[in-house]
A and B are shown apart, each in its own frame.
Chain A
Amino acid sequence: MVTQSIAGPAIRVRGLKKSYGKLDVLCGVDFDVERGTIFALLGSNGAGKTTTVRILATLLKADAGTAGVHGFDVAAHPANVRASISLTGQFAAVDEILSGRENLVLVARLRHLENPGAIADDLLRSFSLTDAGARKVSTYSGGMRRRLDIAMSLIGNPPVIFLDEPTTGLDPEGRIEVWHAVKKLAGHGTTVLLTTQYLNEAEQLADRIAILHQGRIIVNGTLAELKRLFPPATVEYVEKQPTLEEIFLAITGSDNKTDATGTNA
């Protein structure tokens, strides 16, 4: 079941089209994601981000165009694609009634791995969820739920991970927790396709950023390349006001970014 690594980009999308009735959601999307990089698909609500991810995760069929993941065509070899990926959807897709540990064991068993219990314990540790591991997920905070969601995606070390709006609906602390988790992922050589509507999230995490607008990629490049599209910076003196987020984090004492102990339930 383990798929061979195949040369070329981890994700290749060419001329992808999808319509729902008369509504054209994707009107010819092209992009590549290099192996081991974080690629952010940036766009507002309804831009087609989730549709793109669902096609790549073999949950939806494209009307036209091709998409390849880890060298496998999503339409021709969906089973190989599914063996190469992991999806974290827009809403934390975790089982509320099971405990955090049981969720991890469940995924490990579905991936037919040995020692599901040990795998679960390792992940609980690396996502700072050990203390909460035996608790029902319905008692978790939003940030903890997302961390568990991402931890579930890592089981079996899939080479490609899709994170569809991983921080939507999270408070600033939860968002920082998730960013740490994502950075850790890419550090291990996993390819990450991330969708987001938050510009600073793409800026924080991504090696490359593509802006999806009205079903088309209108810009695709590194942050530095995207910045060059604008007129050169001029020096101005502006009083630096703290952002509300900075104020919030300073007051609540959450600026210690490594302190994601998950006891904030």
Chain B
Amino acid sequence: MTAYFFADTAVLTGRTLRHVTRSVDTIITTVITPVAMMLMFVYVFGGAIDTGSVSYVTYMLPGILLITVASGISYTAYRLFTDMQSGIFERFHSMPIARSGVLWAHVVTSLVANLLSLVIVVGVALLMGFRSGAGVPAWLAVAGILFLFTLALTWIAVIPGLSAASVEGAGAFAYPLIFLPFISSAFVPTETMPAPVRWFAEHQPVTSVVDTIRALFTEQPLGDGIWIALAWCVGILVVAYVFAMASYRRKTG
């Protein structure tokens, strides 16, 4: 049946994408939190934070983009959970199709839905004064890193989507992920933090990803940071994928 893997995945992705386009509210609620944070940080706290020559909205946009993805993937978990509960997942699994296509359809949909949310958030940031002199290669690099980051978080979302016992549980895992950028270089320079917090902030994945995207936006040299950021994304992706597939096998026998 693997001959049909791409055809089946395409059909199933068409289905889940319709779930996104027919409940546009999921995109709106995904972007509303990051946009509200952006407004608050830029117009309330921002004036008190010294980010040197970089405007604050440009400084904090990379962190806001990661928060957007972190809140977006809770809908990935929710959509998968709903399919598990409604029995349609089992219906597909009892059909002569490439079974893994059912899961991949959710993953592809998650990437598309998050891309939409990210475009909206960047649009709002532009209205708020975000400017970047970055050229096409730098923007492609930003897109690539965000793609990898979204893919890694999507596979994390697959785990509760498959194994949660309630809708609340399926979505709740995203909260710590949304919170993580606050203890990073996303909103304030880490030098201002007390030593242990600073140590954590400088060694957690969000900081390296944020610093890399910020360097690309502001046309600064990337240094080793990009390799650390990529290593984190790939590492999280691999671990999440392994655990997600383990719970998938447990669910499907």
Residues of A bordering B, CB below 8 Å: 1, 54, 57-61, 79, 82-83, 85-98, 102, 106-107, 109-112, 152
Q: A1-B96, A85-B94, A111-B95 are in contact. Are A95 and B253 (CB under 8 A)?
A: no
The docked-state distance in angstroms from the alpha carbon of A109 to that of B92 is 12
> B201 interface residue, CB < 8 Å from A?
no
Q: B87: which A residues are within 8 A, CB to CB?
A: 89-93
Asked if A112 and B91 make an inter-chain contact with CB atoms under 8 angstroms apart, the answer reads no
Residues of B bordering A, CB below 8 Å: 1, 4, 7-8, 11-12, 15, 18-19, 22-23, 86-88, 90-97, 252-253
Asked if A96 and B90 make an inter-chain contact with CB atoms under 8 angstroms apart, the answer reads no
Asked if A59 and B97 make an inter-chain contact with CB atoms under 8 angstroms apart, the answer reads no
A-B contact pairs, 14 of them (CB 8 A): A54-B90, A57-B90, A83-B96, A89-B87, A91-B86, A93-B86, A94-B88, A96-B86, A97-B22, A102-B18, A107-B95, A109-B11, A110-B92, A112-B7
Q: A58-B94, A97-B22 are in contact. Are A112 and B4 (CB under 8 A)?
A: yes
Asked if B95 and A110 make an inter-chain contact with CB atoms under 8 angstroms apart, the answer reads yes
Q: B15: which A residues are within 8 A, CB to CB?
A: 95, 98, 106
- When C-beta atoms are compared, the residue in chain A nearest to B251 turns out to be A59
Q: From DSSP, what is the main secondary structure of chain A's interface residues? A: loop
- When C-beta atoms are compared, the residue in chain B nearest to A112 turns out to be B4
Q: A59: which B residues are within 8 A, CB to CB?
A: 90, 93-94, 252-253
The docked-state distance in angstroms from the alpha carbon of A256 to that of B4 is 45
The docked-state distance in angstroms from the alpha carbon of A151 to that of B248 is 28
Q: A88: which B residues are within 8 A, CB to CB?
A: 91
Asked if B86 and A82 make an inter-chain contact with CB atoms under 8 angstroms apart, the answer reads no
Q: From DSSP, what is the main secondary structure of chain B's interface residues? A: helix
Q: A79: which B residues are within 8 A, CB to CB?
A: 1, 96
Q: B91: which A residues are within 8 A, CB to CB?
A: 87-89, 93, 152
Distance to closest chain B CB from A53 (angstroms): 10
Q: B23: which A residues are within 8 A, CB to CB?
A: 97
Distance to closest chain A CB from B249 (angstroms): 11
Asked if A93 and B90 make an inter-chain contact with CB atoms under 8 angstroms apart, the answer reads yes
Asked if A110 and B12 make an inter-chain contact with CB atoms under 8 angstroms apart, the answer reads yes
Asked if A82 and B8 make an inter-chain contact with CB atoms under 8 angstroms apart, the answer reads no
Distance to closest chain A CB from B214 (angstroms): 38
Select which of A86, A90, A98, A110 is within 8 A of B11 by beta carbon: A110
Asked if B253 and A61 make an inter-chain contact with CB atoms under 8 angstroms apart, the answer reads yes
Among A1, A90, A112, A152, find the residue whose CB has the most chain B CB atoms closer than 10 A: A112
Asked if A57 and B18 make an inter-chain contact with CB atoms under 8 angstroms apart, the answer reads no
The docked-state distance in angstroms from the alpha carbon of A183 to that of B4 is 33
Distance to closest chain A CB from B213 (angstroms): 34
Distance to closest chain B CB from A169 (angstroms): 13
Distance to closest chain A CB from B108 (angstroms): 16
Distance to closest chain A CB from B9 (angstroms): 10
Q: B18: which A residues are within 8 A, CB to CB?
A: 97-98, 102
Distance to closest chain B CB from A192 (angstroms): 15
Across the A-B interface, give the 8 residue pairs with the lowest CB-CB distance, nearest first: A93-B87, A83-B96, A87-B94, A93-B91, A89-B87, A57-B94, A82-B96, A93-B88
Distance to closest chain A CB from B231 (angstroms): 38
The docked-state distance in angstroms from the alpha carbon of A107 to that of B7 is 13
Asked if A60 and B94 make an inter-chain contact with CB atoms under 8 angstroms apart, the answer reads no
The docked-state distance in angstroms from the alpha carbon of A111 to that of B8 is 9
- When C-beta atoms are compared, the residue in chain B nearest to A108 turns out to be B11
The docked-state distance in angstroms from the alpha carbon of A1 to that of B86 is 28
